[in-house]
Amino acid sequence: MHLELGKIKITDIQFGDLTKVEAGVLYVNKQELIDLIMEDDHIKGVSVELARPGEEVRITPVKDVIEPRVKVEGPGGIFPGVLNKVTTVGSGRTHVLSGAAVVTCGKIVGFQEGIIDMTGPGADYTPFSKLNNVCLVIEATEGLNQYEYEAAARMAGLKAASYLGQIGKDIQPDEIKVYETKPLLEQAVEYPNLPKVGYVYMLQTQGLLHDTYVYGVDAKKIVPTILYPTEIMDGAILSGNCVSACDKNTTYHHLNNPIIHDLYERHGKDINFMGIIITNENVYLADKERSSNWTAKFTKYLGLDGAIISQEGFGNPDTDLIMNCKKIEDEGVKTVIVTDEYAGRDGASQSLADADPKADAVVTGGNANEVIVLPPMKKVIGTLDYIDKIAGGFDGSLRPDGSIEAEIQVITGATNELGFNKMSAITY
């Protein structure tokens, strides 16, 4: 499968009469976007606001972040099985408004989390402070339950990203990157002397506000399967995960998965990147056993020498991670696991809820219990009412001057377990 990814660099964002890109500036017709979102009768109101890098703006509570993309050539459309037919995507050409994103906010439940600061110390912890963000603050109609509200907010974000992505269709990209993974047997012989490496991609799948979708299917109902890496760049995997802001994978993370990116960078140089095994993180222990048995089976079936395993979320996925690691190692396939830590505020406590001597190669996204003070911002997009009610916040988190003292787990993407952040730790 061969995909050209054309990046149209966005350096600024403005409201305008026409939604377009001109000289790197993304102009958004606000009313047109509002009308599109309001087509859904589950939504009572939406406010559309812009947030640029360096501005004194705080966005909260963030639900998802989505990058605008459009299929230019090849089968299918972006977000297959949801916004487009379930056609298999990942080949042809896709254009990206790189440097722009849609950020959805909404009070789906009373306790909240997810902060993006566009400047100040908090901005260093989230990659989304570097983007030109179109923020949608979504208000649900009266009487809508939490499931319906979450689904409406999720859909609104995807529709907005697709609407913006469309304008990139006829624009010449600033940069074109080519990604290719061949069918298994061809790929295996292309670089016969390089170690064959695969990626085991764990998806959060546990219920309300904890779900992920693959081609529109609730991933808690799948058994592990194989995807070409480029399918993910076309939106085959979507986030419905709104809990644990620091280590959830937003849709933006899925589209720009840095593990996939880095494996491709080394593809043909010192590794042969064979493809992706997606798996879930279910609550029922028999599901965990089955899924980890299958990931191990696939690593052997694909003839891998090594596998990278990434986790999503806190607590019980630690068990899936270690099950995957142990069983894959037992197949004779070397593993590296990617996770984050809840090691207490001093970093001295045990980091994960599970462990094994075979998990001897670990990449960490950082300690989510680390405390940070976020200074007040001039403008808040969304609401600050809930800062005392967020993961890692505590009574009195929101000080009278508007500053916030909390653990970095309040910040969207702070300890991302795909490594889409700056923090890590190295031991020898």
Partner 1 sequence: MKKTIITNNLLVHDKYNEKMGIIYLEEFSYLDILKFVRDKIHKGHKLLTHPLSGSIKPNETPFKSVAISTKKGILDLQSLEIIQECIITTEKFIKVKKTPNWTKEILEDFSLIDFSVIDGAIQSMEQFYYR
DSSP one-letter string for 348-382: -S--SS---TT--SEEEEEETT-EEEEPP-SEEEE
Nearer to partner 1, 117 or 281 (CB): 281
Residue 86 CB, nearest approach to partner 1 (Å): 22
Nearer to partner 1, 315 or 332 (CB): 315
Residue 18 CB, nearest approach to partner 1 (Å): 41
Residue 125 CB, nearest approach to partner 1 (Å): 18
Nearer to partner 1, 124 or 385 (CB): 385
Angle at which helices 285-301 and 317-330 cross, to 10°: 40
- 161 three-state secondary structure: helix
Cα(40)–Cα(276) distance, integer angstroms: 35
Nearer to partner 1, 196 or 210 (CB): 210
Instruction: Please name which of 289, 364, 282, 290 lies closest in space to residue 317, comparing C-alpha atoms.
Output: 282
Amino acid at 258: P
Cα(285)–Cα(209) distance, integer angstroms: 20
- 270 three-state secondary structure: coil
Residue 247 CB, nearest approach to partner 1 (Å): 8
Cα(283)–Cα(220) distance, integer angstroms: 9
Where does this chain bind partner 1 (CB under 8 A)?
Answer: 109-111, 146-147, 204, 206-210, 220, 241, 243-244, 247-248, 282-288, 313-316, 318-319, 342, 344-345, 349-350, 353-354, 369, 388-389, 391-392, 394-395
Q: Quick one: three-class SS letters along 10-67?
A: CCEEEECCCCEEECCEEEECHHHHHHHHCCCCCEEEEEEEEECCCCCEEEECEEEEEC
Nearer to partner 1, 155 or 352 (CB): 352
Instruction: Please name which of 240, 221, 215, 231 lies closest in space to residue 82, comparing C-alpha atoms.
Output: 215
- Residues serving a catalytic function are 242
Residue 350 CB, nearest approach to partner 1 (Å): 7
